[in-house]
Every structure is written in C-alpha cells, then in structure tokens.
Amino acid sequence: MRRLKTLDRVFSKAGAGSRAVARSWIGARRVRVNGKIVENPEYWIDLERDRVTLDGKPLRKAANVYILLYKPKGFLTTARDPEGRPTVYSLLEGLDTWVVPVGRLDLDTSGLLLFTNDTQFAERIMNPESKVPKTYQLKTATRLTEEQIAQLRNGVELSDGPAHAADITILRESPKYTHLELVLLEGRNRQVRRMIEAVDSKVLKLVRTAIGPIRIGDLAIGKWRQLTEEELRALGKPRAGKRPE
C-alpha cells in the first residue's frame, strides 16, 4: 500500500515544523519535490518514492521526542493565537524538534501536558479505548454533598453524552469548598468543569497531576523535561527516542 500524505503534513510528521510553518516555506518556493519547486501544500507525496528538500537539504524524519511540560494557567494549548495570548510553545525553549500536544488543557487549567512527534504514541494515549487514566485535583466553588459526590462517581449527563469519574477522592473540605482528586478514562473538552457544573457547582482551580503512571513530581511550573525510559515503558512504549540537549 502506498503511503501518501500532503506536502505540508509531511513536514509536520517529520518534526520539521507545524503545517502552518510548512505552508509558509512552500509558498516562499523553498520546497522541492524530486527536484521541482512545488507551491501547493496539498500536493500528494509518496513517502517511499518522493524526495522532498527544503532549501536544497533533504527532509529527514527527526528522532522521536517525548516531553512533559508543567503548563501554567493562562497559556493556550496551541501553536499561535490570533489575539496574541501566550501559548505553551513559548515555554518549550531549547527544543529544536517540532512536537504536538498529546491532548489539551484549557486556558484556565494548569498541570501535566505531554508533547511528542510520535503520532502513533499520541493517538494511543488520546484514544478513549486505551483507557489511559488522567488524574486531576480541583477546588469547587461550594462544599459538595455526599449526594453530589455520588453523582460524579455514578455518572452525570453532559451535552455530548454521559460521563463519570473512574475514581474520586475527597482531599479536604472546608465550610465553603471541597478539594477533590478525580480520575477520568477519557478526555473530552472541558470535561471536568462540565461534570462539576452538572452537579450544580463550579471549578475554582483545576490541575492535571498525572497521565497514567506519569506524574509532575517536583518539576517547576512552566518548565519541561524529557520522559524517562521507565516512564515511556510504563505508557507502553518500548524505549525512549531522541534526548535533546
């Protein structure tokens, strides 16, 4: 079976840059396919037969990279924002390979965010059928009752279907607030916040502390590190890829 991809996607899959960046290179006539300049980013490439160059240099796939970032609140999980708000990519200083986030965290959520250029790895972690647990700690705007906790555990109805916590632990309580640790086996958009709203409360603070067995640990907020070989094996990856300096 022939392995075909559009020209812009070939660059992102190789870890050379995002599709948007690749389109700018293609539009600037810096890209050749089999020696001929191609200006159409939708041009189909046979990965086994076609030779792609950028500024005359052959495009080669970068070694696989696996990164853990402690995302701060106030950063978007995107490469760029039309409104000029800060994005998580501004935190990946020193990384010379293009990577994509494994799932997302919304603007007001902090915590563990994985990045990689290994698309198969990313797809497996994000696939709900893989049932990779995601652990969150949160503070609610009201003190939750036993009935509300039971609802979260047993399931609530959201606009995109029912959802329930695979595990839920009360960390501490005060007269006004409840602090919870909640584990999900899927990762729908704003799911934790919507679940709490479904039991008539709101999230005041939300931090993702773990994906599967991988935890933030003592990593400083806003910093990143490589996943260790042990962590990759725990996530089902045989061994680590490139370790950038």
**Within a domain: 244:** no
| Residue (of 108, 115, 89) closest to 208 by Cα position | 108
Tell me, yes or no, whether 115 and 145 share the same domain: no
CA 70 vs CA 3, 84, 228: distances in Å? 36, 21, 16
**Within a domain: 115:** yes
**Within a domain: 164:** yes
Of 58, 84, 101, which one is at a domain's C-terminal end?
Answer: 58
Identify the residue whose tokens are 């061994």.
239
Q: What is the pLDDT of residue 181?
A: 97
Tell me, yes or no, whether 109 and 139 share the same domain: no
In one letter, which amino acid is 17?
A: G
What is the rounded CA–CA span in Å between residue 88 and residue 161? 30
| Each residue's pLDDT expressed in tens, for the chain with a length of 245 residues | 567 889 998 988 787 877 888 999 999 999 999 999 999 999 999 988 999 999 999 988 778 899 999 999 999 999 888 899 999 999 998 888 889 899 999 999 999 999 998 888 888 898 888 889 999 999 999 999 999 999 999 999 999 999 999 999 999 999 999 999 999 998 888 999 999 999 999 999 999 999 999 999 899 999 999 999 999 999 987 554 444 44
Q: What is the pLDDT of residue 2?
A: 64
Tell me, yes or no, whether 121 and 220 share the same domain: yes
Q: What is the pLDDT of residue 139?
A: 98
Tell me, yes or no, whether 120 and 162 share the same domain: no
Q: What is the pLDDT of residue 111?
A: 97
Q: What is the pLDDT of residue 245?
A: 42
Q: How many domains does the chain have?
A: 3
Tell me, yes or no, whether 184 and 144 share the same domain: yes
Tell me, yes or no, whether 81 and 118 share the same domain: yes
Tell me, yes or no, whether 158 and 202 share the same domain: yes
Q: What is the pLDDT of residue 61?
A: 79
Identify the CATH number of the domain in which residue 27 sits. Answer: 3.10.290.10
Burial of 132 (0-12, 13-18, 19+ CB in 10 A): buried
Tell me, yes or no, whether 31 and 76 share the same domain: no
Tell me, yes or no, whether 167 and 218 share the same domain: no
CA 210 vs CA 69, 110, 235: distances in Å? 11, 12, 12
The residues annotated with a catalytic role in the active site are: 106
Task: Please give the model's pTM, rounded to 2 decimal places.
Answer: 0.80
**Within a domain: 123:** yes
Identify how many contiguous H helices and E strands the chain contains and give both numbers.
6, 17
What is the rounded CA–CA span in Å between residue 168 and residue 153? 7
Domain that holds residue 162: 133-211
**Within a domain: 167:** yes
